[in-house]
């Protein structure tokens, strides 16, 4: 899935990236879902080895426009993994104590420890996205944060954390359809807020904010992937494929027993 990876120094133009693209898989939707199921099984195996080995860490960052599919991706891609070694951290509107500190203060405690996979459902990038679009701090402040974010992630990678970041890219029309579905289906009303419509008015501003954030912070050690996400099954296939590839490159192994177990019998 390297075609979706943003190489360091690349300027991203989201209008040139097709959210309906499915060029990395030529099969049908049914075949794609089957492939994702197989990847899930492999991911489950690798995650168990990661936890048992307890010497690697994986941070997965998920960002998207509203209705972009962050929750659905987490459910589908991490289906079946051992919850002991997997955590999801969600970053909502900052609390008063969080606002009283620097903007990364609330993030650092949630990064993965040895053997863990941690998924950020929204992340430290909100402070160059929402903050920028709604003019919550001066431009002179948020512009410096691109450098902060790169350095923060370099700290984590230097200390042994593998980082991968996904932007789930949907079209404005697809967002309209998904929001309308939440309105039309009573079982989905809980997902809808009138504030979603207010945020939708800022679509173009958010697209520019994402372009700048991704362009300025995709590095060799903490890359961004712009994932075509109009088709949910293809989105899941891309994310699963990337995660399996990353974990396989770690060359994980189950640790050797502390002592020779040959001939040992439990009475």
Q: Which of 106-120, 199-213, 247-261 has the lowest mean pLDDT?
A: 247-261
C-alpha to C-alpha distance for 86 and 191, rounded to whole angstroms: 24
Mean of pLDDT values over 85-93: 94
C-alpha distances out from residue 248 to 28, 50, 219, 251, Å: 26, 10, 20, 6
- pLDDT interval class at 110 (50, 70, 90): very high
- pLDDT interval class at 145 (50, 70, 90): very high
- Res. 258: pLDDT tops 80: no
CA dihedral 7, 138, 15, 220 (to 10 degrees): 10
- Res. 167: pLDDT tops 80: yes
Enumerate residues 6+ apart whose C-beta is below 8 A from 27.
Answer: 35
- Res. 262: pLDDT tops 90: no
C-alpha to C-alpha distance for 115 and 258, rounded to whole angstroms: 18
pLDDT for the residue numbered 264: 73
Mean of pLDDT values over 14-23: 97
* % of the chain surpassing 90 pLDDT: 90
C-alpha to C-alpha distance for 64 and 67, rounded to whole angstroms: 8
- Determine contact, residues 124/103, Cβ cutoff 8 Å: yes
pLDDT for the residue numbered 257: 76
C-alpha to C-alpha distance for 170 and 86, rounded to whole angstroms: 27
Enumerate residues 6+ apart whose C-beta is below 8 A from 46.
Answer: 244, 247, 248, 252
pLDDT for the residue numbered 267: 80
C-alpha distances out from residue 218 to 11, 28, 118, Å: 10, 31, 19
CA dihedral 118, 122, 6, 59 (to 10 degrees): -10
For tokens 């099984």, name the residue.
Answer: 41
Going along the chain from its start, the domains and CATH numbers come out as 2-249 (3.40.50.300)
Counting Cα atoms < 13 Å in the Cβ hemisphere of 76 gives 22
The tokens for 128 are 């160059």
Averaged confidence pLDDT in the chain = 95
- Burial call 151-183: b when 16+ CB within 10 Å, e when fewer: ebbeebbeeebbbbbbbbbbbeebbeebbeebe
Secondary structure element (H or E) that encloses residue 227, with its range: strand 224-228
pLDDT for the residue numbered 261: 72
């Amino acid at each position: 899935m390297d075609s979706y990876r943003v190489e360091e120094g690349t300027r991203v133009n989201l209008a040139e990236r097709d959210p309906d693209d499915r060029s990395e898989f030529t099969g049908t939707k049914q075949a794609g879902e089957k492939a994702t199921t197989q990847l899930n099984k492999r991911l489950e195996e690798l995650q168990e080895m990661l936890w048992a080995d307890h010497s690697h860490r994986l941070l997965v960052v998920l960002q998207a426009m509203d209705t972009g599919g962050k929750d659905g991706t987490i459910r589908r891609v991490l289906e079946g993994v051992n919850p002991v070694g997997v955590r999801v951290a969600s970053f909502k509107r900052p609390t008063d104590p969080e606002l009283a500190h620097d903007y990364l203060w609330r993030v650092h405690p949630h990064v993965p420890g040895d053997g863990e996979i941690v998924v950020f459902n929204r992340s430290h990038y909100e402070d160059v996205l929402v903050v920028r679009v709604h003019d919550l701090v001066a431009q002179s402040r948020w512009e410096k944060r691109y450098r902060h974010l790169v350095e923060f992630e370099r700290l984590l990678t230097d200390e042994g954390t593998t980082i991968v970041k996904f932007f789930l890219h949907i079209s404005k029309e697809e967002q309209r359809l998904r929001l309308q579905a939440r309105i039309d289906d009573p079982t989905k009303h809980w997902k809808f807020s009138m504030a979603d419509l207010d945020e939708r008015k800022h679509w173009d501003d958010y697209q520019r904010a994402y372009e700048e954030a991704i362009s300025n912070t995709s590095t060799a050690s903490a890359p961004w992937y712009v994932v075509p996400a109009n088709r949910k099954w293809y989105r899941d296939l891309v994310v699963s494929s990337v995660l399996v590839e990353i974990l396989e490159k770690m060359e994980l192994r189950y640790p050797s027993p502390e002592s020779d177990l040959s001939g040992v019998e439990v009475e």
